[in-house]
Structure formats: structure tokens, C-alpha cells
Structure 1
Amino acid sequence: MRRIDEDIKKKEYKKAYLLYGQEDYLKKQYRDKLKKALVNPGDTMNYAYFEGQNCDFHEIIQLSETMPFLAEKRVILIEDSGFCNKSCDDLADYIKEIPVTTVIIFVESQVDKRNKLYKEISKNGLAVEFGEQKDEILEKWVAVRLKKDNKRITREAFLTFVQRVGTDMENIDKELEKLVCYTLDKDIIENQDVLDITTEQISNRIFEMVDAIALKKQSKAMLLYHDLLALKEPPMRIMYMISRQFHILEIVKAMTNQGFDAASIATHAGCPRWAVKKNQYQAKSFTLDQLKEAVRDGVEYETLVKTGKLNPQIAVELFIVKYSSMSNKKLH
């Protein structure tokens, strides 16, 4: 990200940029930064936009070869094309041939780093990954975001906020807007404000459900499940989320047993660092074999539902009953 900022500041641009990863908010921010820096307001003659899997790379190449009209650069923005996940050798070979008067910006959710186009952009342009941000970066960003509205947030309130709304920056931004409006008459946002106005993510409900399963509180787990059904959450999405949580627990328990630190565990398990301790505590209620079995069962139940051999709602109930009744005497 810093390299893009430097390019904009120096007005020295690469031939091609690839912005990729799951953090959509930051991707959009830097996409727009580049576009604003390179394209004059209202200039439609020197700017072209392509979107989707059916982008014609021949048209892109042809357009790239066209000199800009009364402007320094011709800018081509390509989003969600999938070019970095499939064979597109002609476009890959063209990257190093892009004229100095053209800048091509690719914005993708996923890329295959073995892909030829990805390698060519990395070599002849700039590829930047926008992944989930670390806790300390999010905390600084939230503080700066709130400072614009002359507000601060307590440490306790921030931790509660991130636990409730997650680490997706677009969602964080929306929830901060709600918080700012809710606390118009005060300068400091406190824990109760967060609890009062923010919307809790479904992943938190799932964690609470798995917690109930781990503590063998079957009735509570079932109640939480039916609450989610009442909120119109599809049973198989709930099944997927439960399976995902058990997979996280499996990784956390295995790596904890091997002595890895919280940062390494968070990276491999795909969870925030602050959540590692909570996951470690939850994982204590299961053996490593039980966690592996739970992940396998999740896949099996999904298959049975897809083949019409099992009702989706009953599949989740069977899973809850099995793992909230399972003996955990031989924990390791």
C-alpha cells in the first residue's frame, strides 16, 4: 500500500497494478486513489472500465495501444475478471509491452500466484495484497476515523466493538457511523454504547453456539440455533459456519500443543489475534481427534443434504446433539 502512495506522490506510475485480497474496503480505497490521481474529472475518452469473467483481453490490448487524447495517461480498470486464475498467456506476455502512456489496473478478489499474469505484473508492475488487517492497525484506523468526528473510544469498548462487528473494514466503517450518530452528545465512546447500537455478526452467534456445545449445554445450543433460524439464516450456512469454527479449533489446538505463539496461530487459523485465547479455551473441551471428526462430520452432513438423504435443519440438530453429548474425559 505504501508503494502505491509513493507512486501517487511522485507521479511515477507502474505500467500495471494488481490489487487483490479479501479486504474490499481497502481495495476500493486504493483503486479510487489511483483512478483519481491518473484520470481527470469527467474524462471519459482516456478511461475504460471492464468487469466480469467475460472481459475481452484482445479489446483491452487494442485499447491500451491507443494514445491518450489531451492527457498524460490512458487508464484501463479491470475488476473481477478472473484473469489471474486462468490461462491468459497473450495478456500476460503483453504486460511488459504496455506503452508508457497506459496504466492498467486489475482489481481481483482471488489470484493464483503461480499464474503467469500474476508473475508478469509482479515483475513489471506492482501486485499488492489487501488481506485482513492486524488488530493494532485496525485500532489506529478506528481512532483516526473517530478523531474526524471529535470522538475517542475506550480500550474496552474497542475490543468489544471488534469482537461484535468483525475485522471487515467496510462493515467497521458502517458500524462506526452508527456509533457516532448514537453518541452525538458525548466525546468518549464507552463499552455500553457499543453493546447498545452495534449489530453482532453471525460468526459471534456461532461461536456462542459452539461454546454451548463445548460446555455440553445442549438446550442452550439448540436455542441459539433456533434463534438463527428465526433470523432467516439458512441451516446449511449455519452448518458451514459451525464446521468452520471446529476447523479453527482444530488448528488452534494442534498448534498450541506444538508450542506456537498467538501470532502464528492467528495467521494459520484465519482468526484475529485477540480471538486466539478464546479459541484455545474453547478447544480445551475437545480432543484433537474429536475436532477432526467434527470437521469430517460437517462435510458428510453437507453431502447427505445435497443428495437429498437428510433434511438440512435436522442435519444441524444431529451435529449439535452428537457433540454436546460427547464424552471429553480423555482430553489432550
Structure 2
Amino acid sequence: MAYQRKQPTVHAYQKVQKEMKDGKLKQVLFFYGRETYLSNWATEALISKYISPVSKELDVSQFDGTLVNVRDLINTCETLPLFSEKKLVIVKDFVPLSGIKRKGFTEEDEKKLIEYIKDLPKTTMLVFMADTADKRRKLYKGVAEAGAAYEFSPLEEKQLVAFIQKRLKSAERIAKPAAITQFISYTGYYDKESDYDLYCLENDIKKALFFSQTPELTLADFTGTASANMDTNVFAMIDALSKGDKQQGFLLLHNILQSGENTYKILALICSQFELMFCVKEMQTEGLTLSAMVNTLGVHEFRIKKAVQFAQRYSVDHLRKMLKRAYEVDKNIKSGELEQGLALELLVAES
């Protein structure tokens, strides 16, 4: 079977940027996804494009989506702009679009809103925002049909590197590509279930810029002020074990346990990392390329690269053995046969 290299993704912020430039943005928009940094950027871009600074307070209306009622929302949308090109109505954290039931928002309200947005006044732009989207909901389908929905997902690696480089450049500083890549790995931006986003990243860059005394930032400058997430610490522990350094492995395990993280979550993450390495190792044996692994596993390329790096230090049989042992430890903890901390220590000792 032939695999094609994955084409670069056109991110939602790029789509909004282009459609706004071409005058093709719809009147009803739904911004959702993990990267609220970018969805907030998009709303600010709309304000800059369509709203006059002299009447911003009157021509931009913002609502709390956990509280707003449909009647007030419609009345505001019917208001004409004063000096601006558009009346901009922004509804933040509109949980009904995430599939969450909300007190005070009935099925009748949902039907009424769906019907209303079909014929929104030409002078109004209505923007809904939420963390997630429930595409099965009639409301989502109605919004998508009347306007457009944009998912603000994590940036691709090249886009993320460019994000970092842009902020370094604005501060008249530089960093080697290798240091930036290792910094990204350290933050756990692409790790499964990670809550580390661009707001966190920008804050860590600012801290590194403040504490560094040289024109060129090193990896130590970045990691010296940033906090590694649990995924990164688990990978570091596995890295130490793969090198035969059990003392470092135990130290990292104790640090993870002392962080207050739930033991089941820690073990689930360890199992997840070994599962990924096992799959990658088998695929390497079969001769699959990196792009084929990404397509088959549905895992971000950045995580695959890390798994490949660590999997090289293990045989397929050893990874199978460790994965089986991790499942046994999980069973022993849940059945109460072993104390949680001791069970994890035994798993590290046998790695």
C-alpha cells in the first residue's frame, strides 16, 4: 500500500484571515477548540476590521453564553451600528453548542435561535465561542448552515516554531532551531490530554526573555523558567530507564507522585507511552514511514517522533513484556493487591 505525505493543514486562523481579506466571511460564526488564544485573536481581528474606534463600546456587544437569553440576544442583533461597518455581537462560552444542557435555554429557545440566524440583519455579525463543539446538535448544524464553524486546534509544528520565532524577533533575540524544538518537546504542547496552550507558551517565552542575559536563548534559558507537564516527566522517566539509569527513573517517579497527580492517571499515561512505542516499533519493523505511522495511528507527528526516539532503545519483545507488566500493575492496584506507590516502584524496578 502506498502512503502519501500528509499535506500541511490550513489552520482556522489562516482561514479567517483570508476570508476576511477577501470579504467572504459569513455573518454567523462559531469559534471553538483548544486554542482560545487564536479564537480570541480572531475576534479582535474582526473588531479591527469592522468596528470604528469611536463607537466601539456601542457597536460591540459581548454576552456570557452561560447566562444570556435568546430574547436579549436577538434584540441586540437587531440594533444598527452607529459609526461602524457592522454591529458585532460576541457570545462567549456558549455551552449549548458544546452539547451541554443549560438552565434557561430550552428546546424552544434553540429552535427560535436557529430560525433567527437564517435571516440575520445584514449589518450584524454574530460570533459564538465555546471550548468544544457537538456536531450532532441541531443548533450546531443550524449555525454551520447559516454561517461557518472554525476549529482552533493546536498549531502544526512549523506554525508553532514560527510563533516562537516571531516573539523572539520582536524582542530582538534569537534561538537555534534545535533549542526551539527541544523546548516544544519539554512543554508537552503536543502530548495527549495536555492543557498546555499558546497562552502558557507565550508566558514561558516572556519569562525566558526576562531571565536570559544573552542575545541568543539556549534550551536551558527556556527550561529554566518553564514547568514541564506530567507527560514530559513520564517520558523523561522512560528515557532514564531505557538508558539503564534506574536511580534517575526512581527519582523522576517520586517527583511525579509528589506533584499530587492521581496514581491511576500516572499509570494510564505510562501505559499510553509504552503502547505508542510498541506500535511504532512494530511499524518500523514492517518498514512504514513516519507519515504512514501518523496516518495509521492518528497521533500527532511530534509525538510519533518522540516515540521513535525512545523505541529504538527497546526490542519489540521487551516493549511487549513491559506493556503486559503495566497492565498487570493496573489490575493489582485496582484490585487492592498492591499499594499504589509500591506498585509503580516495582514497575520501574522491572523496566
Residue range with higher mean Cα deviation, 174-183 or 64-73: 64-73
Following superposition, the deviation at residue 32 of structure 1 comes to: 2.1
One-letter code aligned to 2:307: N
1:5-24 Cα shifts (integer Å, max 9, x gaps): 23444566421111122122
C-alpha contact 1:166 1:172 (8 A) present in aligned 2: no
Following superposition, the deviation at residue 149 of structure 1 comes to: 1.3
Separation in structure 1 between the aligned mates of residue 327 and residue 120 of structure 2, nearest angstrom: 48
Following superposition, the deviation at residue 241 of structure 1 comes to: 3.3
Residue 255 (structure 2) aligns with: 227
TM-score w.r.t. length of structure 2: 0.74
Alignment of 1:166 with 2:188, yes or no, is yes
Alignment of 1:81 with 2:94, yes or no, is yes
C-alpha contact 1:18 1:121 (8 A) present in aligned 2: yes
| Structure 1 stretches lacking a partner, 5+ long | 327-332
Separation in structure 1 between the aligned mates of residue 112 and residue 204 of structure 2, nearest angstrom: 44
Separation in structure 1 between the aligned mates of residue 303 and residue 207 of structure 2, nearest angstrom: 24
1:265 and 1:97, CA in 2 relative to 1: closer, same or farther beyond 3 A? farther
Following superposition, the deviation at residue 205 of structure 1 comes to: 0.6
One-letter code aligned to 1:143: Q
**Aligned ranges 1:275-286 → 2 under 5 Å:** 275-283=303-311, 284-285=314-315
Task: Give the 3-state SS of the residue equivalent to 1:200 in structure 2.
Answer: coil
Separation in structure 2 between the aligned mates of residue 81 and residue 208 of structure 1, nearest angstrom: 39
1:185-238 Cα shifts (integer Å, max 9, x gaps): x32223443344443333211112234566676654333121123344443443
C-alpha contact 2:249 2:348 (8 A) present in aligned 1: no
**Aligned ranges 1:128-139 → 2 under 5 Å:** 128-139=150-161
TM-score w.r.t. length of structure 1: 0.77
1:59-87 Cα shifts (integer Å, max 9, x gaps): 32343233344544222212222222337
Residue 325 (structure 1) aligns with: 350
**Aligned ranges 1:266-277 → 2 under 5 Å:** 266=294, 272-277=300-305
Following superposition, the deviation at residue 254 of structure 1 comes to: 5.9
Residue 33 (structure 2) aligns with: 21
RMSD of aligned alpha carbons = 3.6
One-letter code aligned to 1:38: Y
Alignment of 1:94 with 2:94, yes or no, is no
C-alpha contact 2:63 2:90 (8 A) present in aligned 1: yes
Task: Give the 3-state SS of the residue equivalent to 1:105 in structure 2.
Answer: strand
C-alpha contact 1:217 1:324 (8 A) present in aligned 2: no
One-letter code aligned to 1:26: L
Separation in structure 2 between the aligned mates of residue 301 and residue 322 of structure 1, nearest angstrom: 12
C-alpha contact 2:182 2:219 (8 A) present in aligned 1: yes
Residue range with higher mean Cα deviation, 314-323 or 165-174: 314-323
1:221-278 Cα shifts (integer Å, max 9, x gaps): 3331211233444434433433443454455456556654324534665755344233
C-alpha contact 1:165 1:200 (8 A) present in aligned 2: yes
Give the alignment partner of residue 121 of structure 1, picking from 123, 138, 143: 143
1:281 and 1:261, CA in 2 relative to 1: closer, same or farther beyond 3 A? same
- Paired residues, what number? 319
One-letter code aligned to 1:112: D
Residue 314 (structure 1) aligns with: 339
Identity of paired residues, percent? 22
Task: Give the 3-state SS of the residue equivalent to 1:103 in structure 2.
Answer: strand
